[in-house]
Amino acid sequence: GQNIDQPTEMTATEGAIVQINCTYQTSGFNGLFWYQQHAGEAPTFLSYNVLDGLEEKGRFSSFLSRSKGYSYLLLKELQMKDSASYLCAVRDQDYQLIWGAGTKLIIKP
């Protein structure tokens, strides 16, 4: 079966750095996505990786290792507004997105 694993919840301090991991087992691979979802709102697109390596976008970076079936989202200089759920999704061989359950990130002052 297809599976995406990510931690259920993480806590970090304002101004710090946090890394949210995602491991996957899917039928084929056509890219990995990270989305942010604030409580009661829709998911919003953060990043996309299809090749191995690090993609940096401001305070957010996303890393991919296809051989290990592994990705992480790195958030730097955490702000209170970063409190949200972070969703990892993999596009499989049929170009369907397989979603993890999400990681709820709590930022403390």
Closest C-alpha to 58, from 70, 41, 46, 71 = 46
Among 1, 51, 95, 109, binds other proteins (CB under 8 A): 95
Among 24, 36, 43, 84, binds other proteins (CB under 8 A): 43
Q: What is the amino acid identity at position 19?
A: Q
52 HSE (CA, 13 A, CB side): 6
Please say whether the beta carbons of 20 and 75 come within 8 A.
Answer: yes
Q: Which is nearer to other proteins, 75 or 89 (CB)?
A: 89
Among 75, 78, 87, 107, binds other proteins (CB under 8 A): 87
Contacting residues toward other proteins, per CB under 8 A: 4, 30, 33, 41-45, 48, 87, 89, 95-102
